[in-house]
Amino acid sequence: MQDDDQGCPPLDEFLAEVAKTGDWRKVLDVAVSEEDPVRFLGEDLDVEPEPLLMAGGEAAQGGDTADDKRRPDKKCGPDVSDWFRNEMERHRKNLDQVRANFVPALWIVWVWKKGLSIQYKSMDFKTANCPSGCENAIWLCGHCIDRSELGNIILGFWVAYLGFTARVLAAGVNMIGSKNPGEGADNPTDTSGLGLGFAMGVNLRKARGQAATPAELKDEASFCTFFNEGLPWKRKRLEAYFNDAFKNGKIWSEGWSEPFKYISKSKEDCKKCADVWKGKPHPLPSAKPPLQ
């Protein structure tokens, strides 16, 4: 695994990029109340998520998606659903340690420095039977996706669970896209993963500091139902919301509103592999000072 901060731009460079597109002090609101020290703005998300609709108009329950377009000669990677459920719970408890060990003003610094330590995209998710014809693929809660999306989901989860607003997530996405065309906001596959993780992090804030595993992460079925609730953001609402904070740069991505359409991009025709992933947990980034 590479060093936590390998290739990571300095934080002042990050803030400078954000400042070009708006007032970063509105983006990084810190320490405004005991209950929510980073001030999550309720307008970030609409209240009720729209259910993911499968073929025939039925709502997904975390199981397999419609299989009519999948090819028998193309097999997805192993099923990581339960393994990744456990990964999210490990990250949740690690973030509680971050909250305990650092003042709120350093939480975003921790995210920025430690983000590159999430290296699911470098893991070799292969078993005796899969994948076959679907390179770097894994099966997650009814979707065949690229292994790299696991890191995007976790990163979005970090931002939300620590209490930051969607503006922070969009600021990072905007900066990445401006530096690397085809990435960030220009890549709806990436933004779909980030957005899905963010939505999960918002809903799990109620479990902050809780030793017991929350109901959403208790077992695979609960986790997949939770994951498949999707991202309840609306384009019109987000465009109006971000307009005050960002004057330049591309903020909107189709991945925000149609995450399940894009997160499985190029792998829609891959059939499920029956193999279940039993690999070791991914190393967690240090939640202890000093922050290097």
pLDDT of residue 13: 56
pLDDT of residue 22: 44
Within a domain: 222: yes
Within a domain: 208: yes
Q: Which amino acid appears at position 218 of this protein?
A: K
Within a domain: 165: yes
pLDDT of residue 15: 53
Within a domain: 150: yes
Query: What does the DSSP assignment read for 1-66?
Result: ---TTTTPPPHHHHHHHHHHHS-HHHHS-----SS-TT---GGGS-SSPPPPB-TTSPBP-SSPPP
Please, how many CA atoms are within 13 Å of residue 200, restricted to the half-sphere of its CB? Answer: 32
Number of domains in the chain: 1
Smallest Cα–Cα separation from 271: which of 129, 153, 151? 129
Tokens of 55: 């073929």
pLDDT averages per 10-residue partition of the chain, 292 residues: 40 53 42 38 41 37 53 91 98 97 84 87 94 95 95 92 79 72 80 88 91 97 91 54 47 74 91 94 95 80
Q: Helix, strand or coil for residue 75? A: strand
pLDDT of residue 54: 33
Burial of 107 (0-12, 13-18, 19+ CB in 10 A): buried
Tokens of 149: 């999306």
Q: Which domain holds residue 196?
A: 11-39+73-271
pLDDT of residue 280: 95
Within a domain: 214: yes
Tokens of 31: 């320490």
Within a domain: 48: no
| Contact between residue 164 and residue 38 where contact means Cβ atoms under 8 Å apart | yes
Within a domain: 292: no
Within a domain: 133: yes
**Residue 57, C-beta contacts closer than 8 angstroms, at least 6 positions apart:** none
